[in-house]
Structure 1
Amino acid sequence: MPLVVIVTRDVKDRFRGFLASVMLEVAPTVYISPRMNQGVRSRTWKVLSDWHNTEPRGSVVMVWRDANETGGVGIATLGSPPRELIEIDGLWLARRKT
């Protein structure tokens, strides 16, 4: 079960309350869970996505270890600007999705 990190920016207080109930807030708006399985991660992201679709304000970024993704890191984003990992000449870079 990999480490999951979620960072929020300018979201409603209910996002922060919900995340604090399922993860540890290590710094303001930065949440971690050292052993969150894929099922819990998916359900947590669904709640955040549903809320963000209802009130599209701010942004949320979730990262976790995923051997099947570029660089071994899974990234999910809500809000703007969304990012994606790409490999260029052996370097991993984050760029805005177009």
Structure 2
Amino acid sequence: MALVMVTTRDVADRFRGFLASVMLEVAPGVFVSPRMNPGARERVWGVMRDWHGQEPRGSLVMVWRDLNATGGVGLAQLGNPPRELVEADGMWLTRRSKPPKAL
């Protein structure tokens, strides 16, 4: 089990209410769980993904320790702009993806 952190920005109140029921809100819109197992993490993220699909406003980011991922950090996100972890000259950086160009 590893520390899981979720940050929210401009989401409906139900997102924050649900997260507060399963995690500790340490700052406005920042939730942590010191020992969340992968199954619980996936279920929590599934609820967030379903709700965000129904009401796609704001953004959510979940991070956790994942030794098989880039930099040892698992990263899931909903909303814009999407980000990814990349290695550059031995450092880990966060890169924002560019939105698709309009036709």
TM-score band, normalised by the shorter chain? Answer: over 0.9
Total equivalences in the alignment: 98
Determine the structure 2 residue equivalent to 1:66: 66
Determine the structure 1 residue equivalent to 2:49: 49
3-state SS in 1 of match to 2:60: strand
Letter in 2 for 1:15: F
Normalising to structure 2: TM-score of the pair?
0.93
Determine the structure 1 residue equivalent to 2:13: 13
Q: For structure 2, which runs of at least 5 residues remain unmatched after alignment? A: 99-103
Runs of 4+ deviating beyond 3 Å: none
Normalising to structure 1: TM-score of the pair?
0.98
RMSD over aligned Cα atoms: 0.6
Letter in 1 for 2:79: G
Distance (whole Å) between structure 1 residues aligned to residue 78 and residue 85 of structure 2 = 16
C-alpha displacement of 1:69? 0.2
Letter in 1 for 2:8: T
Distance (whole Å) between structure 2 residues aligned to residue 36 and residue 82 of structure 1 = 24
Question: Which is higher, the Rg of structure 1 or of structure 2?
Answer: 2
| Identity between Structure 1 and Structure 2 (%) | 70
Distance (whole Å) between structure 1 residues aligned to residue 56 and residue 39 of structure 2 = 24
Q: For structure 1, which runs of at least 5 residues remain unmatched after alignment? A: none
Distance (whole Å) between structure 2 residues aligned to residue 82 and residue 63 of structure 1 = 14
Distance (whole Å) between structure 1 residues aligned to residue 14 and residue 96 of structure 2 = 27
C-alpha displacement of 1:97? 2.6
